[in-house]
Chains A and B, each alone.
Chain A
């Protein structure tokens, strides 16, 4: 059966990694591009076949065992894969969007010396990402989890001769590791609670437990910390904007469409556990909402086109967590899918703009590119409409589903969520208007060189634009005459469904959101097109909120002050004082006093034989006495 061949899905990209990696200096760029993209296409075809095989099968959960990986005492960790509706859907996204981005990269990276290295890293990333979603237990998931972190590190620091890029890579890895420690401890707790790390052993046991069970609360808290690292939630989100140092296709693939949604995937996968911990769910909802709002507020004033998209990703991930927190796992997962389409599209579009602008990213020097980059403009417009949440584009359906559940959960959270949606529409259209409308603000010399990107870049844009436009069909709600296919598809995995609002409430909520979004777009239009407002230079005076937003609420500076500086101070103190002076001082002191004592003892060795004999006698007598007394 085709499902039993699922191990080929990650294996093929791994082979691609080896071929492109080892042959990076031997093979031609065209061949590397062909192999690198080709292996992902093969995986995609296989994933499609598996997806349909699973759809036709009555059994919706297949475990494919490969070999025993780690075992020690009661602990057994097999390397085995789980094919079920959730993972098979993820396979499609990863290999599908991944393939498009590979094709795009062949054009985007064509003039880079590290072309072969780039493709091998991308292939390796796909391999680990597939491992992450296919693992049938938390440890195999963790291999993928940290493996994608490695690739993220390698790709953010791809242009490593730039020291600040290398630092951004390190920051991403370390912040992810903070989350990973939480993940690991969560796994240990799972092992002691359930005696296994296998999904198939854990979830049936958990289904019989009482909500609020203390171990479950702790487990879900730890797993959530792990998710915060990977999916850039407060307080571990600051690495993601810095990660934009990597080449733009990487931002699209890793830092928008796939890796950063791993946290959402993991929580959705563990939905049985999270349903048992309402406290943690509440925490997730609050963190998600706060992240969504904070990301949007920062995105309002950014001038680097990739930074806007980065903060918008943080914000959209916040929405997904908000959905998870209110129990709308399928809604959150729906948003993972649509976000993968439109955010990959937006990043690739931004990449096309950057490519045309010869690596300039500041929107203050763009403007009026609509005519010069027609394909990029049209596709990005579709992406922007999708993220803004206007019907019938995909983002409307997924975001609305989340917000409808939030409304049922808590009205205040809904208000903030909707307000954030308005902000989203505003900053996204601000980006679009600043880039494509008005007049060109760069140098005349540069203007002449601006040209539309090659086909290998525009075709992926067009495909993604189509998906962003129609992706909503996966989950059209019943209130709009659909059957929400996605929800039904996921129902074997996601056991408990959050209550949905009744239809009339849903219409009202949709109406409010759409109206607000339209107003936001209008305001952005009035400001950036009608009045042709251009964001002020870095050093200009800003309002209080503007300053905070522009400086990212000084979160990095705060972390620096409360974590990095104290640790550095400890490091110096431990090394220079405690280690060298105190501990080693005591050791040397012991050595010194031994030395001094031996000077005294030396006097005993006078060479006087009579004295020696005397001491011998004293010794023997005392030994005899000791033996006598101890009997």
Chain B
């Protein structure tokens, strides 16, 4: 079985190389490669035993004298993120089909290269490997945004790059510190779990990791790179960033903070939870009056991710399981929304809400899929968003009722800004600009129908997803609690 995991990591890498060499056929090659990855991910899901163990494990010595191993495996938590990555990459590639990018082979090769980086992050069981994946995922997206982005791309990307690399350096320090504390002198995740650090040490490590992850998600107040970057990036770049890449931060918290430094979490978790909740309200309120729809969705993403982070730091099954489902759901919904905004801006050359309006009249199909994605985003029961937000809020509620009441404002505020955006773009009278709008067609239709089907399927029957990660989440919580209790 271990070949499967190697295959998982290498298909996109090989796909990237072939794509880079294939000139005009690049996007088709990339799509085939990503579909192969998706099939493989589904094979993994079907062969996955729903317990807490790491499966399909590979472990090769890599740099032996430093104790670095190519050690990777998939447990329930990884499975969700692997599925998310391999599900969204083909969708994002399909969503890019209508564009004629310059040097398309480079563009699509970078996407696939990034996929490998992401998959390493989500499967690594060796901290060094994790860090390699972390940086390997950043480089391609940097180029995607810097080369194919909007007018202000250079300045904005510089900030994004420096910000995230700065964050990663803290994490690197944390990893090296843990390595030095590890008597076995290796980067093995299990060895990190078994370390006996005191609370002060754990506090430092907590912040070293948390800053890196908080920037990636982003959590208030580490978020100011995000709206600019999302707005300036080319649509596929935005989808990659919001749909998949930010989940690296969420995954990182679950995998590398909670079980490694439980005392750090005990001491600083409340601070992190409060920051997350501030982010929900703050970003939602900012989203109210955004004129640019892309920027509005960017801020809404901060709010939604804030709720996921709050659910994680609540440290209970509902919160963590909610985070797992919501990672997937948020990925689906945000990719769909950014794709729709891309369709609109590539036809009308604007995402400014006031300039639009009445598109529903001329594009009824778009009106329906847009509405489904909007209602998924604002967590209407029966859509994917509800499962996640319900469990997350319930998790936060068990932590503190007031935290839940404030975090719960997202269900009101979300409706306000999302419906305002929908109304501004789709409803009302058509104007001179929107009157000639052509409804969705071809690959646009396929992509959006798939996304909408996922929104509803996950909302109606979330059990398969929930049961994938349940055992691993339970195990993780037991691990954390045992450590906390054993010292007391």
Residues of A with Cβ closer than 8 Å to B?
67-75, 139, 142-143, 145-147, 150, 153, 157, 160-163, 166-167, 170, 173-174, 177-178, 180-181, 184-185, 188-189, 191-192, 567-568, 570-572, 574-575, 579, 583-584, 587, 591
Contacts and interface: CB of A to CB of B under 8 A. Distances in A.
Contacts of A574: 282, 285-286
A583 B224 contact: yes
Contacts of B289: 568, 571-572, 575
| In the complex, the 9 A-B pairs of residues with the closest C-beta atoms, listed nearest first | A73-B317, A143-B381, A166-B427, A72-B321, A584-B224, A188-B397, A160-B427, A571-B289, A163-B428
Contacts of B162: 591
Interface stretch (B90-98, B185-193, B335-343, B409-417): B409-417
B75 interface: no
A70 B287 CA distance: 31
Contact of B427 (A74, A143, A163): A163
A184 B382 contact: no
B415 A173 contact: yes
24 contacts: A72-B321, A73-B317, A74-B317, A147-B380, A150-B375, A150-B380, A163-B427, A167-B423, A174-B412, A174-B415, A174-B419, A178-B412, A184-B411, A185-B405, A188-B394, A189-B401, A568-B288, A571-B287, A572-B289, A583-B224, A587-B163, A587-B224, A587-B225, A591-B159
B221 A185 contact: no
Contacts of B360: 160
B10 interface: no
A192 B316 CA distance: 13
A156 B389 CA distance: 26
B224 A72 contact: no
A147 B459 CA distance: 13
Given A170-B423, A583-B221, 5 more contacts: A72-B322, A72-B466, A181-B412, A185-B401, A188-B401
B474 interface: yes
Contacts of B288: 567-568, 571
Contacts of B382: 143, 147
B392 to A, nearest CB: 10
Contacts of A74: 317
B318 A75 contact: yes
Contacts of B463: 67-71
A570 B322 CA distance: 30
Contact of B318 (A69, A73, A575, A584): A73
Contacts of B423: 163, 166-167, 170
A163 B429 contact: yes
A178 B285 CA distance: 16
Nearest to A179: B412
A170 B286 contact: no
Contact of B286 (A75, A146, A177, A571): A571
B358 interface: yes
Contacts, number: 136
B359 to A, nearest CB: 11
B447 interface: no
A294 to B, nearest CB: 24
A18 to B, nearest CB: 12
Given A161-B429, A574-B285, A73 B462 contact: no
Given A142-B381, A584-B224, A184 B427 contact: no
A173 B404 CA distance: 21
B420 A170 contact: yes
B466 A71 contact: yes
Given A71-B463, A166-B423, A567 B318 contact: no
B470 interface: yes
Contacts of A575: 286, 289-290
B419 A173 contact: yes
B393 interface: yes
A160 B397 CA distance: 37
B445 interface: no
Contacts of A67: 461, 463
A177 B411 contact: yes
A591 B162 CA distance: 9
Contacts of A143: 381-382
A29 to B, nearest CB: 17
A462 to B, nearest CB: 37
Contact of B408 (A181, A570, A591): A181
Contacts of A71: 463, 466, 470
Interface in B368-427: 375, 380-382, 387, 390-391, 393-394, 397-398, 401, 404-405, 408-409, 411-412, 415-416, 419-420, 423, 426-427
B361 interface: yes
Contacts of B390: 70, 139, 184
Nearest to A150: B380
A70 B316 contact: no
Given A173-B415, A181-B409, A72 B391 contact: yes
A150 B462 CA distance: 21
A455 to B, nearest CB: 32
A163 B462 CA distance: 37
Nearest to B405: A185
A571 to B, nearest CB: 4
Contacts of B412: 174, 177-178, 181
A305 to B, nearest CB: 26
A174 B416 contact: yes
A170 B418 CA distance: 10
Contacts of B361: 160-161
Interface string B454-488: 00000001110010001000100000000000000
A72 B423 CA distance: 36
Interface string B312-328: 00001110011000000
Contacts of A147: 380-382
A188 B411 contact: no
A160 B401 CA distance: 39
Nearest to B409: A181
A142 B411 CA distance: 14
